[in-house]
Each structure stands twice: as structure tokens, then as C-alpha cells.
């Protein structure tokens, strides 16, 4: 019996370890500019904190022996996540997506995310 080829979503779900982290980090690279634009337009948030956090993830992938305090970074991301009740423009939603995506990536790095 031939092994059935997985579709795109199945192949993504099958990623494990550093491959899953690298894939998620690459997606975040595409999402982070939305957060930065939101910060620029609304003069709020902390784009530098999220950028630094993603850089730490890339550094961990590059040098697996390098470590960082994931709990501290998660708190920074949580503090920088915008609230829809405070902003009435559309840009808040992609900014929230980027922040939540980064928090999910940190949980994946920590091993807390299935």
C-alpha cells in the first residue's frame, strides 16, 4: 500500500522540533510588520520588544545552547498586545494576531505547545 501524500496543512502539522519553530518564526517575520505599522499609526505598543523577542528565537535556532528567559519574554509580549476596546481602527486586529502568534511561538520553544 502506497503512503498517502499529506496536503499542505498536514505537512505543517507534521513539523516537529526546530523545524516547527523555524516555520513559525518565518511566519512571524511576515506578521511583525503589521504590528510595527499599528504602533507607528497609533503611537502605542512596543514594536522593538516584539522584534527583540523574535530575534531571540532566531538566535536559539542558530545556536541551540543559547538560552533566554521565556517567561519574561511572554510577559513583555502580553504587555505589548493591544486591546480592541482601546482602539477603533482595523489595524488592531493584525497587531493582535502578531502578538498572539509570537506568544504561541514562545510556548512552542518552551515545549508547552503541542
Which CATH number goes with the domain that contains 85?
A: 1.20.1590.10
- Render pLDDT for 77-89 as a digit per residue (tens, 0 to 9): 999 999 999 999 9
Q: How far is residue 83's CA from residue 78's CA, in Å, rounded to a whole number?
A: 10
How many domains does the chain contain in total?
1
40 domain-assigned: yes
C-alpha cell at 98: 502578531
Domain span at 30: 16-110
10 in a domain, yes or no? no
pTM of the model: 0.87
What are the CA-CA distances from residue 84 to residues 34, 55, 74 (Å)? Answer: 15, 27, 20
Among 9-18, 44-53, 61-70, 89-98, whose mean pLDDT is lowest? 9-18
How many other β-carbons are positioned within 10 Å of the β-carbon of residue 31?
Answer: 18
pLDDT digit string, tens, across residues 12-62: 888 888 999 999 999 999 999 999 999 999 999 999 999 999 999 999 999
In this prediction, residue 66 carries a pLDDT of 87
The number of beta carbons lying within 10 Å of the beta carbon of residue 99 is 26
pLDDT of the residue at 90: 93
> Is residue 21 a part of any domain in this protein?
yes
Domain-embedded: residue 53:
yes
What is the average pLDDT across 87-94? 94
Amino acid at each position: 500500500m502506497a503512503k498517502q501524500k499529506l496536503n499542505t496543512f498536514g505537512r505543517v502539522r507534521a513539523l516537529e522540533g526546530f523545524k516547527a519553530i523555524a516555520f513559525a518564526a518565518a511566519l512571524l517575520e511576515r506578521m511583525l510588520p503589521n504590528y510595527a505599522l499599528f504602533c507607528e499609526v497609533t503611537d502605542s505598543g512596543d514594536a522593538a520588544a516584539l522584534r527583540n523577542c523574535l530575534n531571540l528565537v532566531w538566535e536559539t535556532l542558530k545556536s541551540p545552547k543559547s538560552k533566554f528567559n521565556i517567561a519574561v519574554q511572554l510577559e513583555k509580549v502580553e504587555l505589548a498586545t493591544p486591546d480592541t476596546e482601546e482602539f477603533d481602527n482595523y489595524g488592531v486586529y493584525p497587531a493582535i494576531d502578531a502578538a498572539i502568534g509570537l506568544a504561541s511561538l514562545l510556548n512552542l520553544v518552551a515545549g508547552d505547545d503541542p
